[in-house]
Amino acid sequence: MRRLTKKKALTLVKELDAFPKVPESYVESTASGGTVSLIAFTLMAVLAFLEFFVYRDTWMKYEYEVDKDFSSKLRINVDITVAMRCQYIGADVLDLAENMVASDGLKYEPVNFELSPEKRLWHMTLLHIQERLRVEHALQDVLFKAAMKGAPPAEPQSEDSPTTLNACRIHGHLYVNKVAGNFHVTVGKSIPHPRGHAHLAALVSHDTNHMFQYFITIVPTKLNTYKVSAETHQYSVTERERVINHAAGSHGVSGIFMKYDINSLMVKVTEQHMPLWQFLVRLCGIIGGIFSTTGMLHGVIGFLVDVICCRFQMGIYKHLKVSQYHDL
């Protein structure tokens, strides 16, 4: 009884076979079919090879959410060279709440304003990189993928003569609150004032006054890649320059003013990879699609060839039949 049950089950399974096997004696191999098969296998191999490279590649996914971190501090890295001596200028930060930020992290270093050939080449390289980033936006993804923790490349050092130290390099970092503020470098040192903010500039003489304004929008960014996970910031800058001339109605204070504002939205950048199951599905789609397409094309071309050949043979047959009729 068990053997009969197994035989019935096996017979039922065979009847449900959706892929019946054709005996080899019924299959006819042709040169055209072999050529189409060779082309199909070659195309499948090439597309599968290219699909493997697509599977290995990653892409960056951008998401936006509200920045809920208001208690942390924002680190501002500063490196500015001003064409004035260090004893005549001062730098500090005043935020939107009119709170003075301590500038203890800034250092004033006397330097030569004219760049050495090594420094000029270094700055030209940085400007070229920034220009390419503005044009080629896809390079940003490459930088995100290659992001590594560590200090940026150091600027080449050169020894300046003490007699040529006619400028001041202000460099270091500041920790400010995550609110809008104003970082400025003006003539004179800052002095505490109960009613506001002031710089002692009465004893400094200058012929021309210029105001350089930079409006900076800072966007918090959270970066998660396979190499690094970090919280950083992106920014955009709009610059403006004007001459201070009180007689002509152009009022203001000479100096460098960087007014920054922090965006309330955070950008989440995540590196993603194609799942294995999706790669297998795409691979099966390539193989099955090429098999089906080449099979249909081979059938259509074979049908057209048969029709043309049959008409040609029928035309020859009619010609022979008419000739035989005339002979009779």
What local confidence, expressed as pLDDT, does residue 214 receive?
A: 92
Nearest Cα neighbor of 206 from 83, 51, 73 is 83
State in Å, rounded, how far the first CA of the chain is from the last one: 77
Q: Which residue has the tokens 């996970």?
A: 229
Distance CA 261, CA 257 (A): 13
Distance CA 37, CA 293 (A): 11
Helix/strand/coil (H, E, C) string of the chain? CHHHHHHHHHHHHHHCCCCCCCCHHHCCCCHHHHHHHHHHHHHHHHHHHHHHHHHHCEEEEEEEEECCCCCCEEEEEEEEEECCCHHHEEEEEEECCCCEECCCCEEEEEECCCCCHHHHHHHHHHHHHHHHHHHCCCHHHHHHHCCCCCCCCCCCCCCCCHHHCCEEEEEEEEEEECCCEEEEEEECEEEEECCEEEEECCCCCCCCCEEEEEEEEEEEEEEECCCCEEEEEEEEEEEEEEECECCCCECCCCEEEEEEEECCEEEEEEEEECCHHHHHHHHHHHHHHHHHHHHHHHHHHHHHHHHHHHHHHHHHHHHHHHHHHHHC
Distance CA 55, CA 276 (A): 8
Is the dihedral angle over the CA atoms 103, 104, 105, 107 positive or is it negative?
Answer: positive
Mean pLDDT by 10 residues, the chain (328 residues): 62 66 63 76 89 87 86 86 85 77 81 81 81 68 62 59 76 87 82 65 58 90 84 87 78 84 89 89 88 81 73 52 48
The HSE-up count of residue 182 (CA atoms within 13 Å, CB side) is 14
What local confidence, expressed as pLDDT, does residue 215 receive?
A: 93
Angle formed by the axes of helices 276-327 and 31-56, nearest 10°: 160
Residue 161 region by backbone torsions, left for phi larger than 0, else alpha for psi between -120 and 50, else beta = beta
Structure tokens at 209: 């006054």
For the whole model, what pTM was predicted? 0.65
Structure tokens at 162: 């003490």
Tell me the CA distances in angstroms from 202 to 58, 199, 205, 228, one per residue in order: 59, 9, 8, 50
Structure tokens at 185: 């470098």
